[in-house]
Structure 1
Amino acid sequence: MKFGSRKTILVLLDMVLICLSILIAYLLRFDLHIPHAYLNQFIAYAAVSMIVGSASLIYFKMYKRVWEYASIGEVITIIKAVLVTCTVSYLIMLLLHEPRVPFSVYVRVLENMILIIGASRFLWRVLRDKYYKKKTNKKNALIIGAGDCGIIIAKELKFNPSAPVYPVAFIDDDPFKYKHLVMGIPVLGGRNEIIRIAELYEIEEIIIAMPSVSKVEVSEIIDICKHTKAKMKIIPRINDLIEGKVSINAIRDVQVEDLLGRDPINVDLDGIANYVQDKVVLVTGAGGSIGSELCRQIAHFQPSKLILLGHGENSIYVIEKEISRKFPALKIEPVIADVQDLERMKDVFRIFQPKVVFHAAAHKHVPLMERNPAEAIKNNVFGTRNVAECAHQYKAERFVLVSTDKAVNPTSVMGATKRIAELIIQSLDRVSQTKFVAVRFGNVLGSRGSVIPHFKEQIALGGPVTVTHPEMVRYFMTIPEAVQLVIQAGAFAKGGEVFILDMGDPVKIVDLATDLIRLSGFEPGVDIEINFTGMRPGEKLYEELLLSEEGIGNTTHDRIFVGSPSKISHSELAKEIVRLEKIVCEEQGTVREAVKHLVPNFSNVG
């Protein structure tokens, strides 16, 4: 129906309701028998009120409101429109008609019109609500959080025909909301009732609508929800909703990252800006998971130029386009180069003269590097040496090496080569004006080679999910978290330090697999099996973040700690690297022995 014809019908309907309100008022005033003297008055009063009422309702835009979403605001508007209608009509009748309209009739007309016109507006909402309740074949949903955000979600799900679920209950920790209705949906208790309510109401989807609470609290709620069979979803941050960055339809699945339960990192913006702003910044490995996130976050601090260096042209192309789109005023220089090529590195430093270097280029895949130790050494050791020596030669102010917890007491070639990379920058710091530091952290969720994408792929194929050992634990951090702390640690650099990031508590890999299966809507051991395959070459059950001789000290950031620099001589280490360079392509056993000579606590020699 077109809006014009719909509006005409609604105006005529309201005129009938106004007339009905006046008729009821007269009947009540005169005990159901209107005297003949007042009958003409009633007709005149009804005619005036219908004309004035129509104009008033149009003025207050009553025909432009969507009544299935009616709320307190609409009630107030109805009262305003009716009060104007009744008062103006009564005053006109006082001026034009004798006998005067009884004041008691005016009062009853006012009451009747508010009730009848208001009821007519809300009747459509009630009927529509009951229709969807009766007709829908949608899945039952439980909304956690009966606040403003939960109401928005409930409205969208109740009245959106394409929504796949229908809200049947709220959970909220506010005891004053218990056993009350919000949007016609009952609030059935606090978080301790989630499991019972999910089973009683056959809940198939749980939506966490608490964007203002801490990540720790969200993690605790998710931990409870994991014990139900329902699939979990979570809404975006409320700021994103307010700013219009996402729609309600962007409610996303709960992800493993939400289980970490860590609040946002506080960074010293001034300290970071002091060493990044208006400087030429070079990021190696800029197309990788860590490198690309470094580029995204560094761009916020307005470097004079950002150099994106990587070996893979496609990944560099992608990150260049993304940064250019988000930061159109920033000067960006994509460079396709291999850190193993010393002459190419010299050209890059000579041409662009970077003052801050983040070295994220590395081979990181443990089992692959066990099979290809020479490539791990060439990229992680020689590549780091090349970039670091160029930073020294061309007088960069700061060099930050992205390292790993696998460099501590390494059992893998990859870990051992990253430890050598740490030694290179620490030894070079002793003879250079450049501040060389390393930042060491554990696994990052969602990075290339991370266990999470592997598990998701196995779940998508129907399982089984393979875990190497039931007791294997790892430290985990999200990519944005890790990169924020890497940039922050660079601000603390005095030279030679290894900064260690607080990764929280270690997580069992089997628990991670179990959670991911549940988050995907399956039951571990029933729908998706978990198989243990045995530890792979170079792996160990747990990772460490600190060598015994490094000690540990605090920084001004509560999640960044610092280990003491090693005392290795730059000249001695340089000789050992040259020796390693000569034998790198020999038998694997010889190469591993040479690595062990540099890293005595490297325990994998076969």
Structure 2
Amino acid sequence: MKDVGGTDRARALPISKDVLMPTFLSTRLPRLAWDAASWVIAAGMVTGVANWHLSAHQWVVVGSYVLAACVLQVLVGLALKLYLGRYRFATFDENVGLAVATGLVGLALAIFSLSVHGLESVAVAVSVLCPPLALLSMVLGRGAYRARHDRERPPAPSCERVVVYGAGDAGSQLVRLIAEDRSVGYHVVGLVDDDRLKRHLVIHGCRVIGTGTQLVERAREAGATIVILAIPSAGAELVRRVSDEVSAAGLKFLTLPPLREMIARPVQLGDVRDLDIADLLGRRQVDTDVERIADHLAGRRVLITGAGGSIGSELARQVHLFGPASLIMLDRDESGLHGVQLSIYGHALLDTPDVVLCDIRDEEALRTVFATHRPEVVFHAAALKHLPMLEQYPDEGWKTNVLGTRNVLRLAAEFGVERFVNISTDKAADAKSVLGMTKRLAERLTAWFAEHHEGTFVSVRFGNVLGSRGSVLHTFREQIARGGPVTVTDPAVTRYFMTIPEACELVIQAAAIGHDGEVLVLDMGEPVRIVDVARRMIAQSGRDVKIVFTGMRPGEKLHEDLFSPVEHHSRSEHPAIEVVDVPSIDPAHLSTARGDLSLLRLAPEPAEERHAEVPLSA
């Protein structure tokens, strides 16, 4: 918050001494006094070895050493902010600070004492032994106080008893955070972990009480009402299994987000959340060759078309992390551009040249963009994607997905783009819709430019992404919130799913490993039956909502394909990416392909396939 003159009020308002002094006297002065007393204790232990048979001179040596140590400990501690709130009490960081302060005090006194008293036995003994003994006393004193304090603070009766699944780094951080913040309303009564080497482990006073197979049994024995899955790297299968077991036992299930959402930062209490349907469908760890990706993106001029959309905006966020020389975000949706700029830079003034309002249908406007920014890498994510809408308005799909892609490809070739990545869809495989056919043509155009121009031109094909605008999850949530019904086209319809971050990570990886003209197909896991997704979301909501089957719409498939029957596919060098070759098409021959769009208004799949058995994978 700022005042009229723009000054930060938090800085402008002085902190009252009436607030600081009681805090110092009640919490930090006792630490200072104990640390000074620790030097006395250490000296007592050293002189005790000699059964206190010291001469008057030796007592003077010891006394002057202790007095100087106490004074220096206070001065050095204040200088290092040890007693001014730099460290949390009785933590590893505070212990390190104590070690530094004690080491400096001990070193200074050793130099002074030995220079004055020479190698007298008492001077040598106190100089060598007192610092480590004083440090030990300081640390043990804090530990004892912390242990007693924690025992004297039993959890409130209203606290819910929790079992944490996962005794790794994330689980350990979570247990510590809950123990330190009693206001959160949780009390950890035990942990479970599948690693049997951890069966005797105690973390912040909480013991590992069993393995994952014993989760429900151990939770009941401990009187727990909540289970928190604290394994950010857990895959969808593990999340499904644990959530089903916990829910069937009548316990509440919470989880931490996947690892990619917490990378490079510690666990926070705010990370603990209810299970999201994306955890059940799209939790897959993506192994990426960061060094290879960085070679293609770091220090390069990168253009992303469709940067305001779900895929384009996440691509922009991830590309930004690799430090491109410039990141040009292009879209015809000004609100989308506002959102992506805000998410990356923390502001959305929309007044910088890297945010470009342009329609890919307008080739001349695009030429100005390419001439101004001279991109070296292009991610082409701009497209119309809603299948039923394009069935009604095929001309719009043609103008954007085909002619718009041709425009971007032409200019990429004209301005010497080094690497071009066309974002495609699984609906381009064995296309039976306007969306599928237009995206198939975009793949073929990309292959033609790969054959006839310098640079690397590739396409990346994948299925539905969770959380994208207009996705089935958004639709189901809205329908459930309204009380239903939830509409599903057919009880047997299946789709592939992955999360937006997963898809974009693999798109960036594919861009790094793809060879000219290839279509790289991302591993989407197992297809998921849509009705099972609807049922699980309804069950999570706790509401009584009906499911209504509306029938397949024109152009829709019962089951999506990642490859057409005539496509030969092979593994790439990345285990989650396969490669297919598509026939190229000369942009000059697009008029022939345009006539085929009228043939794409197909009837739904035959009725005998509508109720085919599909393995339950949701």
TM-score by length of 1: 0.71
- How far apart, in 1, do the equivalents of 2:558 and 2:152 lie? 56
Code of the residue aligned with 1:592 in structure 2: it is: S
Residue matched to 2:286? 264
Of 562, 566, 576, 2:583 maps to: 566
Offset at residue 283 of structure 1 (A): 1.7
Offset at residue 315 of structure 1 (A): 1.5
Structure 2 counterparts to residues 152-551 of structure 1, below 5 A = 152-175=173-196, 178=199, 182-201=203-222, 203-211=224-232, 214-216=233-235, 219-220=237-238, 222-229=240-247, 230-234=252-256, 237=259, 244=265, 247-259=268-280, 260-267=282-289, 269-270=291-292, 273-274=295-296, 276-324=297-345, 333-433=354-454, 435-460=456-481, 465-516=486-537, 522=540, 527-529=543-545, 531-537=547-553, 538-551=555-568
Residue matched to 1:110? none
Question: Is the contact between residue 345 and residue 387 of structure 1 (CA under 8 Å) also seen in structure 2?
Answer: yes
Q: Residues 55 and 462 (structure 1 numbering): CA distance in 2 closer, same or farther, change over 3 Å?
A: farther
Structure with max Cα Rg = 1
Moved more, 493-502 or 443-452: 493-502
Offset at residue 528 of structure 1 (A): 4.9
Offset at residue 517 of structure 1 (A): 5.4
Q: Residues 360 and 201 (structure 1 numbering): CA distance in 2 closer, same or farther, change over 3 Å?
A: same
Question: Is the contact between residue 470 and residue 510 of structure 1 (CA under 8 Å) also seen in structure 2?
Answer: yes
Q: Deviations over 1:201-252 (max 9, x none)?
A: 55443223345xx444x752552233213131216759968x6566444444
Offset at residue 130 of structure 1 (A): 5.3
- How far apart, in 2, do the equivalents of 1:515 and 1:266 lie? 31
Q: Residues 382 and 271 (structure 1 numbering): CA distance in 2 closer, same or farther, change over 3 Å?
A: same
Offset at residue 191 of structure 1 (A): 0.2
Determine what percentage of the aligned residue pairs are the same residue.
33
Code of the residue aligned with 1:554 in structure 2: it is: R
Offset at residue 566 of structure 1 (A): 1.1
Question: Is the contact between residue 172 and residue 191 of structure 1 (CA under 8 Å) also seen in structure 2?
Answer: yes
Question: Is the contact between residue 179 and residue 189 of structure 1 (CA under 8 Å) also seen in structure 2?
Answer: no
Offset at residue 380 of structure 1 (A): 1.6
Backbone CA RMSD of aligned residues: 5.3
Question: Is the contact between residue 145 and residue 209 of structure 1 (CA under 8 Å) also seen in structure 2?
Answer: yes
Q: Residues 445 and 221 (structure 1 numbering): CA distance in 2 closer, same or farther, change over 3 Å?
A: closer
Residue matched to 1:137? 158
Q: Residues 379 and 470 (structure 1 numbering): CA distance in 2 closer, same or farther, change over 3 Å?
A: same
Moved more, 364-373 or 2-11: 2-11
Question: Is the contact between residue 409 and residue 603 of structure 1 (CA under 8 Å) also seen in structure 2?
Answer: no
- How far apart, in 1, do the equivalents of 2:572 and 2:436 lie? 25
- How far apart, in 1, do the equivalents of 2:145 and 2:373 lie? 70
Question: Is the contact between residue 490 and residue 552 of structure 2 (CA under 8 Å) also seen in structure 1?
Answer: no
Q: Residues 446 and 398 (structure 1 numbering): CA distance in 2 closer, same or farther, change over 3 Å?
A: same
Question: Is the contact between residue 340 and residue 378 of structure 1 (CA under 8 Å) also seen in structure 2?
Answer: yes
- How far apart, in 1, do the equivalents of 2:329 and 2:194 lie? 48
Residue matched to 2:109? none
Offset at residue 285 of structure 1 (A): 0.6
Aligned length: 540
Offset at residue 402 of structure 1 (A): 0.7
- How far apart, in 1, do the equivalents of 2:291 and 2:592 lie? 40
Offset at residue 568 of structure 1 (A): 4.4
Question: Is the contact between residue 391 and residue 434 of structure 1 (CA under 8 Å) also seen in structure 2?
Answer: no
Q: Residues 349 and 576 (structure 1 numbering): CA distance in 2 closer, same or farther, change over 3 Å?
A: farther
Question: Is the contact between residue 198 and residue 228 of structure 1 (CA under 8 Å) also seen in structure 2?
Answer: no
Offset at residue 284 of structure 1 (A): 1.2
- How far apart, in 1, do the equivalents of 2:526 and 2:328 lie? 35
Code of the residue aligned with 2:590 in structure 1: it is: A
Question: Is the contact between residue 410 and residue 603 of structure 1 (CA under 8 Å) also seen in structure 2?
Answer: no
Code of the residue aligned with 1:262 in structure 2: it is: R
Q: For structure 2, which runs of at least 5 residues remain unmatched after alignment?
A: 1-21, 38-62, 107-135, 606-618
Q: Residues 227 and 535 (structure 1 numbering): CA distance in 2 closer, same or farther, change over 3 Å?
A: farther
Q: Residues 567 and 362 (structure 1 numbering): CA distance in 2 closer, same or farther, change over 3 Å?
A: closer
Q: Deviations over 1:242-298 (max 9, x none)?
A: x65664444444444444442232236336624x45544322111111112222233
Q: Residues 182 and 402 (structure 1 numbering): CA distance in 2 closer, same or farther, change over 3 Å?
A: closer
TM-score by length of 2: 0.69
Q: Residues 447 and 168 (structure 1 numbering): CA distance in 2 closer, same or farther, change over 3 Å?
A: same
Q: Deviations over 1:453-497 (max 9, x none)?
A: 333444555666544333222222222222232233334444332
Q: Deviations over 1:571-599 (max 9, x none)?
A: 4x32325668xxxxxxxxxx633x57xxx
- How far apart, in 2, do the equivalents of 1:228 and 1:578 lie? 54
Structure 2 counterparts to residues 74-113 of structure 1, below 5 A = none
Q: Deviations over 1:49-68 (max 9, x none)?
A: xx99x969987989999998
- How far apart, in 1, do the equivalents of 2:557 and 2:222 lie? 45
Residue matched to 1:553? 570
- How far apart, in 2, do the equivalents of 1:412 and 1:533 lie? 21
